A and B are shown apart, each in its own frame.
Chain A
Amino acid sequence: MLVNRKLILAHFWLAFAVFGVALTLGAWQMFIRSPLGTWLSNPELYYRSLTAHGTVMGYVFPTLVAMGFGYAISESALEQRLVGVRWAWTGFWLIVAGSIMAVIPIALGRASVLYTFYPPLIGNIFYYLGVVLVVVGSWIWVALMSINLRIWRKAHPGAPVPLAMFANVAGSYLWAWTAVGAALELLLQIIPVAAGLKNTIDAGLARVFFSWTLHAIVYFWLMPTYIAYYTIVPRAIGGRVYSDSMARISFILFLVVAMPIGMHHTFADPQVGAGFKFIHSAFTALVALPTLLTVFTICASVEIAARLRGGRGLFGWLRALPWDNPMMLALAFSFVMLGFGGAGGLINMSYQLDASIHNTQWITGHFHLIFGGAIVIMYFAIAYDLWPHLTGRELIDVRLIRTQLWLWFIGMVVTTFPWHWVGILGMPRRMAYFDFADPAIAPQALSVIFSAIGGFVLLTSGIMFIVILARGMRAPQVDAGAYRFAVAVHQPATVPVALNTHALWVALMIALTITNYGYPILNLATTGTSVPAVYVGAQ
C-alpha cells in the first residue's frame, strides 16, 4: 500500500540527482590526479571538489535513500498510511535547504575542509549549518518511523513487527544516536569557532567526537542494503528467507556493536589511550558477526530459491538461479564486493596492520569497494524494484538494467583493486597531484591509470542508471500490484519481546557508548589542549 508515492519519489530523485553530480566530481578527481591529467595549478580546486563529493556521498545521498526507502517500507510493510506526511515533507525540504546552504560556500572555495571537517581547519559557517540542517531533516524521519511503528503496534497488539519495518526502525535509531557525535562536534566546537565567538579549538576532542559518528554511519549506509538482502532479494528470485529470527538478530547486533567501535579510526591518534583503542578494536571484531550471519542466511535463502526451481547437487543448484534477473545479479555482485572489502577491513581493524595503511589510498579503495560497491549497487536494485510501484509504469529495458549493473561491478573492481594496491605501496590519500615522473613512484602510474579508467566506467554506469529511471517515468502504464516483501520459510506467528522491540538494544547501545567513549571525552574536555583555528581563505 504505497500511498505517498510523490514523497518517496522526491527522496529518490533528489538522492540520485545529487549522486550524479558527486559521481561526476569523483571521476574528475580520479582523472586529474592520475598521470592522464595535468597538475592542477590551483590544488584548492581539488579539495573543493573533494569536499563536495564527500559531503554529498557521505551525508546527503545515503540519508535520502534510507529515508525514501524507509517511508516505502513503513507504508507497504505495515499496510498503513504514513502518519505525519507534512512532517516528512518538512524533513525533505530541510535537506534541500541544508544541501544548498552547504554547497554554496564549498563552490566558492570557502569551505574546503573535506567531509571529515578536519579541525583546526575552519570553513565558512554556512557549510556546517547546512550539514546540521541535513541531519535535523533526517531526525524527523527517525521520529516518524518510530511513531508509525507505535501506531501499528497499538492496532496489532503482540503481533510480530514485519521484518522490513523492524530493521528499518533499527537503522533509524542507529542513525539518530550515531549522528549525535558529529552534532556535538559541530555545535560545541566547530560552529562557535566558525562564528568567530572563539578562535581556538581542541582538534583531538573533535576527532574523538567524529569517530563516534564515523563508524556507525557506515552501518546506517548499509541498512537499506541489508534490508534489501533479507526482504527483497528472496522474493524477487522466487525464494524464501531462511530464518526470520537470524535476520532480527543481525539487525539487533548492528544496533549494539556498530556504535562503540569508532575509535578504530583514531588508532594513529596520540590523544586516545591505548586501553580504549584495544576495547574498540575488540568490539570491531564483533561487528563482523552480523555480517557473517547475513551472508550465511542469504546464501541459504538463495539456495532455497534454486532448489524450488529444480536445482540439484552440492553446487549444481547455482546454475538453476535466475541469473538474468537484475536482483540476482545485483546480489551476487554485492556479495563479491562485500567479501573483498570485508577482507580488507580485517587489516584496517588490527592495530598493528592499520599503521601500514593508515591515511593511504588503501583506505579510499576500501570504503569505495564496500560503500560505493557492495552498498550502492543494492541502492540501484532497490530503486529498480520499487520504481514500477512508485510510477505505475514498467521498467521495460531489463537488458539495459543488467548492463548497468555489470558496468558498475566491473568499474568498481577496476577502480578499487589498483587503488588498494597503490595504498599498500604507500601512496597517501587526499592529495591533488603526484609526481609520477619521479622514479620513486613511477611504477605506480599504471595502477592509477587503471583506477581512473574504472572511474569513467562507473560514471557511464551511473548515467545509465539515471537514464533508465527517467525513461521509466514515461514507460507504458502497468498495474504493479501491492508492494510485497519476502516471507520466511517459517513465517513467525509470535516473536519474543526482545526480538520484536528495540528498547533493550537501544539501551545497550547507549550504555556501551558511555563505557567506551565517556572517559576519553571527559578526559579531553577537561585537559584543555586547544590550538588556534586555521580559517580557510583568511589571513
Chain B
Amino acid sequence: MSARDLFSLNNPHFTRGVGIIAAILIVTAIAGFIVLPFAQPWIQFANVWDAICSAAGVVQRTATVAAPEETKRLSDVVLTSHTLSRPSQEAIGRGATLAQRCAICHGPTGISRADSPNLAGQYAAVIYKELHDFRSGARSNAVMSPFAVNLTDDEIADLSNYYAYLPRLPAYHPTPQLPKPNIVIFGAPLRGIAPCGACHGSLDNKTGSPWLEGQSEAYMKAQLQAFAEGERRNDISQQMRNIARAMTPQEIDAAAAYYASQPPDVVKAVD
C-alpha cells in the first residue's frame, strides 16, 4: 500500500481518476474559452487567442471603445479614513492664519452668521474634499470658487486641519430640538434611500460625509435641491444625487429642519 503503487500507471484507479478529471477539465475549458465566446455573435474577436483572453478575464483596452466625453468635471479626490489624521500643531496654526479670510462668511469661530455652512469641528476630510472640488471646478459657487482656485494643496490641508480642530459650538440661532423624522432614521427603503443618519451621524458616519447638526436650514435645503436637479455634482458615484432625486419636497424640508435644530454635542463622537 505504498505511494508508489497508488501513483502508478499500473493502477487503474489512478489512471482513470486522473484521466476522467483531466478530460472534464479540458472539455469544459474548450467550451468556456473558445466555443462559448464565439457563440456570442454580438462580440467580435480578432482571433482565438483574443477570445481566450477575454474569457479568462484579462483586462483589455480596445481602441474602438472610447471613454465617454466628460462634459462637466467630476470630483477626483480620493479619501480614506486616514486622510489628514493626526495633524501637527504648526499645520493647525498655519490654517488659523489662512482662515481669517474665510471668517467673513463662515464666522470667526467657524459658526456662520449668514447661511453659509458652519465649519467649526467639521471633519477634516470633508473640508479637504470640498476645497479640492471648488478648486478643480467639480463644485462651483460664485463666492467660494474664487477663494479656492488660488489655494495650494498644503493650504487646503492646513485649513481643513484648523477647522476640524475648532470646538463644536452651538449654531448662531439655535431653534428648539426637533424629533428625528423618518427620512433621517429609516430612509425610504422602497425608493432606495438609505437613512441620512447612516452616513451623516445619528446612526453612523462614513468617510467624506459631513456631520450636519446645527447647519443652516436654508443652506441644507438649497444643497439637496441642487443635488436633486444635478446642479451640484461633486458627490462621488452620485451618492447624494441618487438620494436627493428620490426625496419628496416634504422629506427635504423635514431633514433640513431636523438637522438645523440639533445642537452639535449630539454628533456621535467617533473620531
Measured CB to CB, the nearest residue on chain B to A440 is: B190
**Chain B contact residue count (CB 8 A cutoff):** 49
Mark each residue of chain B from 94 to 129: 1 if its CB lies under 8 Å from any CB of chain A, else 0: 000000000000000000000000000001010000
Would you call A278 and B195 a contact (CB within 8 A)? no
Within 8 Å by CB of A497, from B5, B28, B195, B270, lies B5
Residues of A within 8 A of B82 (CB): 196, 199
Measured CB to CB, the nearest residue on chain B to A523 is: B57
Would you call A44 and B203 a contact (CB within 8 A)? yes
Measured CB to CB, the nearest residue on chain B to A500 is: B1
Q: How far is the CA of A285 from the CA of B180 in the complex (A)?
A: 51
Q: How far is the CA of A497 from the CA of B52 in the complex (A)?
A: 39
Q: What is the minimal beta-carbon distance from B36 to any residue of chain A, in angstroms?
A: 6
Mark each residue of chain B from 175 to 192: 1 if its CB lies under 8 Å from any CB of chain A, else 0: 000001000011011100
A501 within 8 A of B: yes
A335 within 8 A of B: no
A446 within 8 A of B: no
Q: Beyond A503-B3, A532-B79, is A275–B25 a contact (Cβ under 8 Å)? A: no
Interface residues of A in 483-539 (CB under 8 A from B): 496-501, 503-505, 507-508, 512, 515, 519-520, 523, 527, 532-535, 537-539
Within 8 Å by CB of B203, from A43, A196, A431, A441, lies A43
Q: How far is the CA of A505 from the CA of B17 in the complex (A)?
A: 9
Within 8 Å by CB of A199, from B3, B13, B56, B81, lies B81
Would you call B3 and A498 a contact (CB within 8 A)? no
Within 8 Å by CB of A275, from B3, B37, B81, B188, lies B37
Q: What is the minimal beta-carbon distance from A210 to any residue of chain B, in angstroms?
A: 17
Q: What is the minimal beta-carbon distance from A40 to any residue of chain B, in angstroms?
A: 9
Which of B152-160, B204-212, B225-233 is the contact stretch? B204-212
Q: How far is the CA of A499 from the CA of B7 in the complex (A)?
A: 13
B144 within 8 A of A: no
Interface pairs (9), CB distance under 8 Å: A43-B195, A199-B82, A273-B54, A273-B57, A275-B32, A497-B1, A532-B80, A537-B205, A539-B81
Would you call A498 and B36 a contact (CB within 8 A)? no
A349 within 8 A of B: no
Would you call A433 and B57 a contact (CB within 8 A)? no
Further contacts, 15 of them, CB under 8 A, given A283-B28, A503-B3, A532-B79: A43-B203, A196-B82, A256-B21, A273-B54, A274-B54, A274-B57, A282-B31, A435-B190, A438-B190, A498-B11, A498-B14, A500-B1, A535-B207, A537-B270, A538-B81
Measured CB to CB, the nearest residue on chain A to B3 is: A503
B binding-site residues for A, Cβ under 8 Å: 1, 3, 5-7, 11, 13-14, 17-18, 21, 24-25, 28-29, 31-33, 36-37, 52, 54-59, 78-82, 123, 125, 180, 185-186, 188-190, 195, 198, 203-207, 270-271
Q: How far is the CA of A237 from the CA of B13 in the complex (A)?
A: 34
Q: What is the minimal beta-carbon distance from B71 to any residue of chain A, in angstroms?
A: 25
Mark each residue of chain A from 276 to 314: 1 if its CB lies under 8 Å from any CB of chain B, else 0: 111100110010000000000000000000000000000
Q: Beyond A273-B57, A504-B6, is A539–B207 a contact (Cβ under 8 Å)? A: yes
Interface residues on A, range: 35 or more
Q: How far is the CA of A508 from the CA of B23 in the complex (A)?
A: 13
Q: What is the minimal beta-carbon distance from B55 to any residue of chain A, in angstroms?
A: 3
Residues of A within 8 A of B125 (CB): 539
Q: How far is the CA of A499 from the CA of B14 in the complex (A)?
A: 11
Would you call B11 and A199 a contact (CB within 8 A)? no
Would you call B78 and A532 a contact (CB within 8 A)? yes
Within 8 Å by CB of B52, from A43, A275, A440, A535, lies A275
Residues of A within 8 A of B17 (CB): 498, 504-505, 508
Would you call A512 and B189 a contact (CB within 8 A)? no
Q: What is the minimal beta-carbon distance from A263 to any residue of chain B, in angstroms?
A: 11
Measured CB to CB, the nearest residue on chain A to B126 is: A539
Would you call B21 and A497 a contact (CB within 8 A)? no
Query: 7 tightest A-B contacts by CB?
Result: A273-B57, A275-B55, A278-B32, A498-B13, A275-B32, A532-B80, A199-B80
Interface centre among A433, A438, A497 (most CB of B within 10 A): A497
A158 within 8 A of B: yes
Residues of B within 8 A of A534 (CB): 81, 206-207
Would you call A282 and B24 a contact (CB within 8 A)? yes
Within 8 Å by CB of B57, from A276, A440, A539, lies A276
Measured CB to CB, the nearest residue on chain B to A41 is: B185
Q: How far is the CA of A534 from the CA of B78 in the complex (A)?
A: 12
Residues of A within 8 A of B271 (CB): 538-539
Within 8 Å by CB of B204, from A44, A157, A199, A523, lies A44
Q: How far is the CA of A434 from the CA of B17 in the complex (A)?
A: 51
Q: What is the minimal beta-carbon distance from B187 to any residue of chain A, in angstroms?
A: 9
Q: How far is the CA of A199 from the CA of B84 in the complex (A)?
A: 13
Would you call A39 and B52 a contact (CB within 8 A)? no
Q: How far is the CA of A498 from the CA of B180 in the complex (A)?
A: 68
Q: How far is the CA of A273 from the CA of B32 in the complex (A)?
A: 10
Within 8 Å by CB of B270, from A44, A499, A505, A539, lies A539
Interface centre among A44, A275, A286, A538 (most CB of B within 10 A): A275
Q: How far is the CA of A498 from the CA of B24 in the complex (A)?
A: 20
Residues of A within 8 A of B18 (CB): 504, 508
Residues of A within 8 A of B206 (CB): 534
Residues of B within 8 A of A431 (CB): 189
Residues of B within 8 A of A44 (CB): 203-204
Q: How far is the CA of A504 from the CA of B4 in the complex (A)?
A: 11
Measured CB to CB, the nearest residue on chain B to A286 is: B24
Q: What is the minimal beta-carbon distance from A453 to any residue of chain B, in angstroms?
A: 23
Q: What is the minimal beta-carbon distance from B9 to any residue of chain A, in angstroms?
A: 13
Q: How far is the CA of A148 from the CA of B54 in the complex (A)?
A: 48
Q: How far is the CA of A274 from the CA of B198 in the complex (A)?
A: 36
Q: Beyond A199-B81, A508-B21, A539-B207, is A498–B270 a contact (Cβ under 8 Å)? A: no
Measured CB to CB, the nearest residue on chain A to B13 is: A498
Residues of B within 8 A of A460 (CB): none
Residues of B within 8 A of A499 (CB): 13
A350 within 8 A of B: no
Q: How far is the CA of A29 from the CA of B21 in the complex (A)?
A: 43
Within 8 Å by CB of B81, from A276, A278, A508, A533, lies A533
Q: Beyond A497-B5, A503-B6, A537-B270, is A274–B32 a contact (Cβ under 8 Å)? A: yes
Measured CB to CB, the nearest residue on chain A to B6 is: A497
Mark each residue of chain A from 299 to 339: 1 if its CB lies under 8 Å from any CB of chain B, else 0: 00000000000000000000000000000000000000000
Q: How far is the CA of A158 from the CA of B2 in the complex (A)?
A: 10
Within 8 Å by CB of A441, from B31, B80, B190, lies B190
Residues of B within 8 A of A274 (CB): 32, 36-37, 54-55, 57
Residues of B within 8 A of A508 (CB): 17-18, 21
Q: How far is the CA of A505 from the CA of B18 in the complex (A)?
A: 9
Would you call B58 and A523 a contact (CB within 8 A)? yes
Residues of B within 8 A of A537 (CB): 204-205, 270
Residues of B within 8 A of A435 (CB): 188-190
A134 within 8 A of B: no
Within 8 Å by CB of A501, from B6, B79, B185, B205, lies B6
Within 8 Å by CB of A42, from B31, B123, B203, lies B203
Q: What is the minimal beta-carbon distance from A518 to any residue of chain B, in angstroms?
A: 11
Q: Beyond A498-B13, A504-B13, A515-B25, is A535–B56 a contact (Cβ under 8 Å)? A: no
Interface residues of A in 460-493 (CB under 8 A from B): none
